[in-house]
């Protein structure tokens, strides 16, 4: 069965219209209190590889509902005026699609272009994530 658009095409289309942050730039922003790093990876991925210190975990399957102030699932962390939100996943694919969707909703956000996969090797700090 041929698809109308592949996942790779959707990621390319998203990346063409969203703000992408390089790993070194996000590392430099970590101490900025106006930057909120949002990790959309599965909890098992976080437990296996760790997380960016101070990042907010927001599972990909709930993000639209957590961001929407009219949703019964809304989270206050996404209602902070003046904050810059930078989303990430493992490779930058899921976060690109997520940020494109959030942009369509009217929520300003960026994403970590290469994802968490190269974070540590580029000098990014990692904290362990305990099994909950």
Q: Is residue 5 part of a domain?
A: no
Q: Is residue 50 part of a domain?
A: yes
Q: What are the tens digits of pLDDT across the range 59-101?
A: 999 999 999 999 999 999 999 999 999 999 999 999 999 999 9
Residue 130 has pLDDT above 90, yes or no: no
Q: Is residue 1 part of a domain?
A: no
CA distances from 53 to 31, 70, 125 (A): 10, 29, 7
Strand 35-39 and strand 19-21: the pairing is unpaired
CATH code, domain carrying 75? 3.40.250.10
Range of the domain at 76: 21-119
| Helix axes 7-15 and 93-105, enclosed angle (nearest 10) | 60
**Which two tokens mark 128?**
């362990």
Q: Is residue 9 part of a domain?
A: no
Q: Is residue 126 part of a domain?
A: no
Q: Where are the beta strands (DSSP E) in the chain?
A: 19-21, 35-39, 56-57, 84-88, 110-112
Q: What are the tens digits of pLDDT across the range 7-60?
A: 999 999 999 999 999 999 999 999 999 999 999 999 999 999 999 999 999 999
Q: Is residue 15 part of a domain?
A: no
106 secondary structure, DSSP code: T
Q: Is residue 7 part of a domain?
A: no
Tally of domains within the chain: 1
Q: Is residue 14 part of a domain?
A: no
Q: How confident is the model at residue 2, as a pLDDT? A: 87
Residue 20 in contact with residue 110, Cβ under 8 Å? yes
* Alpha-helical runs (H) found in 30-68: 43-49, 63-67
Return the closest-CA partner of residue 39 out of 82, 1, 84, 90.
90
Give me the sign of the Cα torsion angle 12, 17, 18, 19: positive
Three-state DSSP at 77 gives helix
């Amino acid at each position: 069965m041929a698809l109308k658009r592949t996942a790779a095409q959707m990621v390319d289309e998203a990346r063409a219209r969203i703000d992408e942050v390089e790993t070194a730039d996000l590392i430099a922003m970590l101490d900025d209190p106006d930057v909120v790093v949002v990790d959309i990876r599965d909890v098992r991925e976080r437990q296996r590889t760790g997380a960016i210190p101070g990042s907010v975990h927001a599972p990909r399957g709930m993000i639209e509902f957590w961001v929407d102030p009219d949703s019964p699932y809304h989270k206050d962390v996404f209602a902070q005026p003046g904050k810059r939100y930078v989303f990430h996943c493992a490779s930058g694919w899921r976060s690109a699609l997520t940020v494109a969707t959030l942009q369509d909703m009217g929520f300003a956000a960026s994403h970590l272009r290469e994802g968490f996969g190269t974070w540590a090797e580029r000098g990014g700090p990692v904290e362990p994530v305990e099994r909950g």
